Amino acid sequence: MRVTEMLASNEKGQAALADALFFLAIVSGLATLLFIFSNGYGLSVMEATAREYRADFATSAMKTILYSSTPRDPAVPLDKSTEVDYLLAAVKEDYADDKKIDESLAVLRDNIAGIMEPFADTFDYLFYLYLPDKKEFPVLILYLSKWTARNIPGEDPRKIEVIDPKEDLIFFCSPA
């Protein structure tokens, strides 16, 4: 072999090695970006799913609250009643009588508290009926969870200790 042929083959080897290193760098960068984007995509899908679940639960809860059965006579239990109606119809009828929801309020309150029980430990909620033409709230029910907590001495300030058990507060408001 001549010296020039040896130099030419050596340059080809260096070029092939340089190409392989560039290819490896590009593939490594793309793999890293793919991992970062796929991880972020998974988190955003998880958040969107949770948000959709909460919205779907709220819609289903509203349907269940307003279309649940109630006896026409509030003094008679539902299973013994001869006349049964939708709760929404009973609330409308109660409001039409004297422009107040008073007779069906206890049934409405108990129904709302029972249906919202799965979210009651984690979320406070507000339920209201609003009449836009009169700009009036015939019913406004506010559910609050009251916890007494304190920071644990010598621990991370984000850690808390619940001292007293949770107390459920349900407020019936009549805002202006």
**pLDDT value, residue 8:** 52
CA separation for the pair 61, 106 (Å, rounded):
17
Q: What is the pTM of this model?
A: 0.62
What is residue 11's predicted lDDT score, i.e. its pLDDT? 64
Do the domain assignments include residue 43?
Answer: yes
Looking at the structure of the chain, the number of domains it has is 1
DSSP β-bridge partners for residue 152:
none
Quote the pLDDT of residue 5.
54
Find all residues with CB under 8 Å of 78, minimum gap 6, and list them: 69, 70, 71, 84
- For residue 52, being part of any structural domain is answered with yes
Residue 20 structural domain: 1-63
Q: Is 37 exposed, middle or buried, given 0-12, 13-18 or 19+ CB atoms closer than 10 A?
A: exposed
Query: Where do the H-state alpha helices sit in 67-104?
Result: 87-98
90-127 b/e (C-beta count within 10 Å ≥ 16 → b): bbeebbeeeeebeebbebbbebbeebbeeebeeeeeeb
Structural domain contains residue 24:
yes
Instruction: Specify the pLDDT at position 154.
Output: 80
Q: Domain for residue 44, yes or no?
A: yes
What is the pLDDT at residue 25?
93
- Ranges of residues in the chain whose predicted pLDDT is under 70: 1-13, 164-165, 175-176
Task: Indicate whether 84 belongs to any domain.
Answer: no
- pLDDT in the model for residue 3: 46
pLDDT score for 171: 85
CA 69, CA 74: separation in Å to the nearest integer?
12
